[in-house]
Amino acid sequence: MLTKIKKIISFFIISLLLILAFINYGCSPANILATGGSGALVVAEGERSLGTVIDDATIKVNIAAKFLNSDNNLFVNINTSVLEGRVLLTGLVENQEIRIEAVRLIWEIEGVREIINEIEIGNRSTLKDYTSDLWINTQARAVAAKTVGIKSITFNFETIKGKIYIAGISTRPDLLNEMISALKNIKGVNEIVNYVMIVVKE
């Protein structure tokens, strides 16, 4: 009975993710690529084809399905960003076995080209640590908006124990470097990990 309920919940959550992906594609100022745990990884109009966006959204939904059916709370503890078949994993899990299991499940998904595993082992020992990461993430988005303007929507930020992970796409490496320099000045930030893809316009 419990397994049946779990499958029904999984179906509704996956359906919702898929619907939101396609609704947001048509309504947002930039086309949605894939939703993340605390934000959305998007690509500016004209920089990505509809086919690529849909492929990445499909990968994202398939990851959610596998994580929901896992017994290790992967869906809750791990955030994913998907860009052109590259999957960035961030979050905190209890042990190395869970970390490996997440990667194994994702490699089963068609269309995945690369997995960047930044999942850390441990836990947020206090509420203060968790709220600090949330505060840093909020500040990071504000800094990005101030530095690069509307292009800030092409970046996804995840903060784990004071370490900011940046994923996304950019056609302006100079603005990206300026933004990263500004992020270093946020109180509580101890490291910045950059996974932004640079696209050269022809």
Per residue in 108-143, pLDDT (tens digit) is 999 999 999 999 888 766 777 888 999 999 999 999
**This model's pTM is above 0.85:** no
| Strands, E assignment, 137-190 | 155-160, 163-170
C-alpha to C-alpha distance for 6 and 155, rounded to whole angstroms: 33
For 30, the token pair is 């930039």
Say what the alpha-carbon torsion angle 125, 34, 109, 96 is, to the nearest 10 degrees. -10
| Domain containing residue 3 | 1-202
In the structure, what pLDDT confidence band is assigned to residue 24 with cuts at 50, 70 and 90? very low
**Tokens describing residue 48:** 């990505």
Count of domains for the chain: 1
Concatenate the DSSP letters of all residues of 3-42 into one string: HHHHHHHHHHHHHHHHHHHHHHHHHSSSEEEEE-SSSEEE
**Average pLDDT score over residue span 9-14:** 54
- Tens of pLDDT, residue by residue over 59-92, are 999 999 999 988 888 888 899 989 889 999 999 8
Element of type H or E holding 136: helix 127-148
C-alpha separations of 111 from 23, 58, 120, 181 in Å: 22, 9, 25, 34
Helix (H, G, I), strand (E, B) or coil at 168: strand
pLDDT tens, residue by residue, 53-67:
788 889 999 999 999
Task: Return the structure tokens found at 147.
Answer: 């530095």
Helix %, strand %, coil % of the chain (to 5):
50, 25, 25
Q: What is the pLDDT of residue 9?
A: 53
73: left (phi over 0), alpha (psi -120 to 50) or beta: left
